[in-house]
Amino acid sequence: MEARVLDKQADGDVDIYWDFRRRLISAHFEPGLKLKPEELRLQYGCSASQLREILFRLSCDGLVEFQDNKGFKVPLASLELCNEAVEHRILIECEGARLSIEKGGLEWEAQLAAAHHKLAHVENKFKADQNSKELFDMWCECEWEFHETLISRCGSSLLIRKHRDIYDLHRMHMLAVSEGSGFRQDNIKEHLNILNAALDRDVEACQKGLANHLHKSG
């Protein structure tokens, strides 16, 4: 249940839940699209009831919309909701960063530097070829890893869980609203600013960098 990366087709539910979640936040489904358990079951080789359970769970995080007797839908693109998600993510992530800067040690610095190194590498490659689906997926993974690592030493498993929730919600709405890949040239500079501020243990600068980065991301 906790694994973000799918581990094969060992456990029925788990794979389907996480695979479907990943597809949702990667804009594999058009906003407003109806999600029928009866149809989706064919893609995953399970029953409609199982899909229904999974869709209910995803609806808790706002990743799918549910209406009684009307079934499930991919949430409509909404600039307002996207903005609310941005603000909430800033709130959570700035707090997580502050705590990590206070509590994190050399090991954390090293992990953050490593995550940023990978991210920067992928971003530079992606900058050159923004049409590559493979690079886009890689960028999504690296972006997540960097931001997750940034808050990883906050000391609160609850905050980490809530951060993942809002990160995914934000990403989904951002992609739905912008209709682009979500990648901007300035990302590279902004990520570097955040990294440097974190390594300098400068809470103010780090939070400012984060807020700026996320606001511009839309």
Residues that bind a copy of itself (CB under 8 A): 1, 11-14, 49, 52-53, 56-57, 59-62, 66-68, 81, 84-85, 87-88, 91-92, 95, 156-159, 161-162
Please tell me the distance from the alpha carbon of residue 34 to that of residue 64, in angstroms, as a whole number.
Answer: 10
What is the closest distance, in whole angstroms, from the C-beta atom of residue 7 to a copy of itself in the complex? 13
Is residue 43 near DNA by the rule CB under 7 A?
no
Give φ, ψ of 152 to 5 degrees.
-65, -20
| Only segment of 29-37, 108-116, 132-140, 196-204 that touches DNA (CB under 7 A) | 29-37
- Contacting DNA (CB under 7 A), which of 71, 111, 113, 212? 71
Is residue 50 near DNA by the rule CB under 7 A?
yes
Q: Which residue number, 120 or 159, has a Cβ lying nearer to a copy of itself? A: 159
CB distance 152 to 118 below 8 Å:
no
Please tell me the distance from the alpha carbon of residue 204 to that of residue 211, in angstroms, as a whole number.
Answer: 11
Is residue 49 near DNA by the rule CB under 7 A?
yes
Is residue 68 near DNA by the rule CB under 7 A?
yes
Q: Binding partner of residue 157 among DNA, a copy of itself, none, CB under 5 to 8 Å per kind?
A: a copy of itself
Q: Which residue number, 161 or 216, has a Cβ lying nearer to a copy of itself? A: 161
What DSSP assignment string belongs to 162-205? HHHHHHHHHHHHHHHHH-S-S--THHHHHHHHHHHHHHTT-HHH
CB distance 166 to 143 below 8 Å:
no
What is the closest distance, in whole angstroms, from the C-beta atom of residue 201 to a copy of itself in the complex? 21
CA angle 187, 197, 135 (to 5 degrees): 25
Structure tokens that stand for 150 in this block: 């940034």
What is the closest distance, in whole angstroms, from the C-beta atom of residue 23 to a copy of itself in the complex? 18
